[in-house]
């Protein structure tokens, strides 16, 4: 999954529906499979806006220009060499091995977790959450769903932590961190920083 789709969805979930950016973003989502082949002029004509408006939109999403935006539009199957990562791999496995095989794998994962859970580490994390003034929980896509769920559960228990779906906001907060900041990263493979190209 590329940065463009993540940023487009974040924009569409947060921008006013009557804004120009919302309209351009919605047009881009509706024609996503064409983005890599459309020139800036062709895309501007599709949106009924100027090329400069499209350029500004690309920068609003955090890209250098429309060309940079196009480079991030590609869906690269199995980009991170995970055999059960993207849509065709998952669907292919279900078609070949059936649903029971999928549930067996989930049960194996849960059983592994039960026998290998590091309770002292969880205790240390809990103490750090309580003792830090600014706590953030970040992830991308599905991992961010876990961060939001974690935020809600902690709120019910009287501890407010912050999370943001926008990877650009996440990056800015990480760059401005101080000693009072604690970051909890939700990631399937431990490559949150490099995968999202967050600067050192």
pLDDT over 90, % of the chain: 52
Confidence band (pLDDT; 50, 70, 90) for 189?
Answer: confident
User: pLDDT digit string (tens) for 161-187?
Assistant: 999 888 888 989 999 999 999 999 998
**What pLDDT does 84 receive?**
46
Comparing 132 with 94, which gets the higher pLDDT? Answer: 132
Highest mean pLDDT among 86-100, 126-140, 148-162: 126-140
Comparing 195 with 84, which gets the higher pLDDT? Answer: 195
Contact 148, 155 (CB under 8 A): no
pLDDT of 75 strictly over 80: no
pLDDT mean over 98-106: 88
pLDDT mean over 128-153: 91
Confidence band (pLDDT; 50, 70, 90) for 78?
Answer: very low
**What pLDDT does 190 receive?**
80
Contact 184, 138 (CB under 8 A): yes
pLDDT over 70, % of the chain: 88
pLDDT of 1 strictly over 60: no
User: pLDDT digit string (tens) for 19-67?
Assistant: 999 999 999 988 988 999 999 999 999 999 999 999 999 999 999 999 9
Retrieve residue 30's tokens. Answer: 């509706």
**What pLDDT does 88 receive?**
55
What DSSP string runs through 121-173?
HHHHHHHHHHH-SEEEEE-STHHHHHHHHHHHHHHHTT---B--S-HHHHHHH
Contact 83, 90 (CB under 8 A): no
What DSSP string runs through 53-88?
HHHHHHHHTT-SSHHHHHHT----TTTT--TT-SHH
Q: Can you tell me the distance from the alpha carbon of 38 to that of 55, in angstroms, rounded to the nearest whole number? A: 14
Please tell me the pTM assigned to this model.
0.64
Phi/psi for 132 (5° steps) reads -90, 140
pLDDT of 194 strictly over 60: yes
Retrieve residue 144's tokens. Answer: 């961010």
């Amino acid at each position: 999954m590329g940065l463009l789709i993540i940023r487009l969805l974040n924009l569409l979930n947060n921008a006013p529906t009557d804004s120009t950016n919302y309209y351009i973003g919605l047009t881009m989502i509706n024609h996503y499979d064409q983005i890599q082949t459309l020139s800036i002029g062709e895309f501007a004509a599709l949106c009924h806006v100027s090329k400069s408006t499209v350029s500004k939109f690309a920068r609003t999403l955090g890209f250098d220009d429309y060309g940079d935006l196009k480079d991030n539009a590609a869906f690269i199957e199995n980009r991170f060499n995970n055999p059960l990562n993207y849509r065709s791999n998952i669907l292919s496995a279900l078609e070949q091995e059936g649903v029971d095989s999928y549930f067996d794998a989930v049960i194996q994962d849960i059983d592994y977790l039960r026998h290998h859970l590091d309770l002292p580490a969880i205790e240390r994390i809990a103490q750090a959450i309580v003792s830090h003034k600014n706590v953030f929980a970040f992830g991308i896509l599905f991992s961010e769903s876990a961060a939001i769920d974690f935020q809600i559960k902690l709120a019910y228990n009287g501890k407010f932590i912050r999370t943001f779906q926008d990877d650009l906001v996440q990056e800015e907060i990480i760059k401005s961190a101080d000693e009072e900041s604690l970051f909890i990263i939700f990631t399937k493979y431990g490559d949150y920083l490099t995968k999202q190209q967050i600067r050192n």
